[in-house]
A and B are shown apart, each in its own frame.
Chain A
Amino acid sequence: MKSNQDSIKFEESIIRTASKQDIENSSIKDLKKKALEFISSNSFPNKKNEEWKYYDFKDLFSNSSNIFSDTETFRQEALDKKELVMLVDKYVFRESSENLIVTVNGVYREDLSNFNNNDIEISNLSNCKSDQLIDTDSSSKDQYLRSLNTLFIENAFFIKVAKNKKIDKTLQVLHISNQNSFNQIRSAIEIAEGSSLDMVISYVGLEDSSYISNAVIDCHLAKNSNLNFTKIQNDSSNSVTLYSLDVKQDKDSNFDFNSFHFGAKSSRDQITVDLNGTNSNANLNGLYVVNQSRKTHQIITVNHNVERCTSKQLFKGIISDEARAEFNGMIEVKKNAKLTDAKQLNNNLLLSPKAHIDSRPQLNILTDDVKCAHGSTIGQLNEEELFYLQSRGFNKSDAFVTLTYSFCQEILNKIKLDSVKNYATNLAFNNISTDSNGALAKLANNDKFKKSRYAKNLK
């Protein structure tokens, strides 16, 4: 009952705040009106919904009551520009310093971005046909969260890669959050026919800020295009993040997704991939490393809508202390999707007795002649392996770290850029409950490692 009241209170705050907005002057006023209508006549998702069954709403409601309480506008003063520039400097990957898009508290900041590539078009809410780009709410599972996003967005960014362009520099999108606010991140990514793009999207938050971020991203991969998308979530440990990613793939397209979760008090990702063109392929990889009393929820759906598509999901989790994680992966093979080849695997390492995982790999197959495999494992570190390393001089914590690293390096190795890989590796180890003195640095220090003649063949 209590949570129901909290939910109603949350919804009321939203509507009250929305009514103070100047919707009439927005460049997407029709969409905002539509979103408000939806929000007003529907309620926030609850546990009756299968995909929210394991979600703990407490963190969301406690942050929201804090955000909505005294400031009716829920937006405080942001950091000044100088401080922001310093933060950008700190978190930009050197390979991407000239291909950088920055948002602060959800708002696209052209002044902090640095972008110069004629093959990629970047636009914002007011200078593009944003209506078309944003009007995707009703076709998605997360209509409430999406409508919420539409209702409150101030600025968004849209990336379009022109036809037949292979973009060789990695594009970085850096999301900075630094206040107690309800942040709406919105973007759409269009990869035109025959093109390819690598991007890294990183989320960072100032440690003392208790924000909620609600991100909505739409990707469209046209015929024969390729998108490599690495997400690194390192939000403030007081924050609550909601994330909705919808990917639509045309014929012969390829989507590589690497998702890393290291931050936030509670994070929830809803990822939906639609394979709409024959011979398209999606590889979804994830690593979540949670400790203390943090929670993460990974809700992944791959829809095989047409024949001859392939997909692979590999998600790994390292859960310690009293942390909880949920992996809810679904492969939907639709009636027409003959010759589908779909795999899904979820491996979890529980490092303490109170750590918890709900792992639900699921298949729903509506046709014959398909190859599908799924499974999940839950385990602890292997005692014999630990002893073997100790018998070779590794102290307990080095042995522990080495084995933990060996568990997750398969996912970390999917990251192409060394600087990004090192960043993610360090975050992974900061989130494991142990003092990881020394060993990690030795293993993860790729630059030093590279010097070995034998290292060149190491994958």
Chain B
Amino acid sequence: MSIIEIKNLEAVIDTEESNTQILKGLNLTINAGEVHAIMGPNGSGKSTLSKVLAGHPDYRITKGEVIFQGKNLLDLDPDERANSGLFLAFQYPVEIPGVNNLNFLRMAYNSKMKFNNQEEMDPLDFDDFIEEKLNILKMKPEFLERNLNEGFSGGEKKKNEILQLLTLNPSLAILDETDSGLDIDALRVVSEGINAYRNKNNAVLLITHYQRLLDYVEPDYVHVLSGGKIIKTGDKTLALELEKEGYAIV
């Protein structure tokens, strides 16, 4: 069963300063239970793809369609996409001073519950719920008391993204360079977190520059994105090859 089908997607950056086409006819289908990795040179459009899927307002779709669990994804607002089960761990998570992390996590969780007509969780139950997730990621409870990402180190921000992944338990997790900036131990812990999340009904799209993460979270497919489209697809050995030879081989 497919979780997401991206068909011939074209997108432009549409801001006051810029109007450039970045995605130039991208095709990708991800089925339940699969892990896909996307690698590719800097500036090739990987983050653009992830933000387009999440619904960032700076991008305009000029062609193509995206079917997400039977729904037309591009018709949905960003919050509807999230509440329908799409999750993006950002390459650069923003800091939001004055918004408490625990409160934020609970509100995010309950938004999804409400959207799906399920009962919202009260604070005490949520404490127990979140504690279990913290333990998986070996995060200290202090992180809950702080403001959302404010003053977090680079690696701490990435961990906090994965904490959100575990909290929201989406059907598709797009992880944009979550491994960048993690120390060796943190990479292992985060990988364990990702593996804890995985099951046969959901899927993972890993965007990464390094083979190392893929040792922990084994991909079924590895794609090379370059110039706004996927130019090569292989299995996990492709990542090894790329690591050795660089993008010259594709």
Contact = CB atoms under 8 A, between A and B. Distances in A.
A contacts with B: majority SS: helix
Contacts of B235: none
Contacts of B108: 392-394
B181 interface: no
* Chain A interface residue bracket vs B: 35 or more
A387 B78 contact: yes
B145 A398 contact: no
B contacts with A: majority SS: helix
B77 A390 contact: yes
B52 to A, nearest CB: 12
Interface in B99-139: 99-100, 102-104, 107-108, 110-112, 115, 122-124, 126-127
A395 B98 contact: no
B2 to A, nearest CB: 22
A319 to B, nearest CB: 18
Contact of B96 (A385, A443, A457): A385
B107 A390 contact: no
B48 to A, nearest CB: 14
Interface in A403-451: 403, 405-407, 409-410, 439, 442-443, 448-449, 451
Contact of B115 (A393, A451, A457): A393
Nearest to A438: B114
Interface centre among A390, A391, A443 (most CB of B within 10 A): A391
Contacts of A452: 102, 123-124, 126-127
B168 A393 contact: yes
Interface string B145-181: 1010000000000000000100010000000000000
A392 B111 contact: yes
B82 interface: yes
A86 interface: no
Contacts of B111: 392-395, 398
A70 interface: no
Nearest to A457: B145
Contact of B94 (A384, A396, A410): A384
Contact of A406 (B77, B98, B126, B141): B98
Interface stretch (B35-43, B54-62, B217-225): B54-62
B90 interface: yes
Nearest to B143: A454
Contact of A454 (B55, B94, B102): B102
B152 to A, nearest CB: 13
A396 B123 contact: no
B145 A403 contact: no
Nearest to A453: B127
B88 A391 contact: yes
A406 B112 contact: no
Interface in A196-221: none
22 contacts: A383-B57, A384-B94, A387-B56, A389-B96, A389-B104, A390-B77, A391-B79, A392-B164, A393-B82, A393-B111, A393-B168, A394-B111, A395-B79, A402-B107, A406-B97, A407-B98, A410-B98, A443-B107, A452-B102, A454-B102, A454-B144, A454-B145
Instruction: Rank and list the top 3 A-B pairs by shortest CB-CB distance, nearest first.
Output: A406-B98, A393-B111, A390-B78
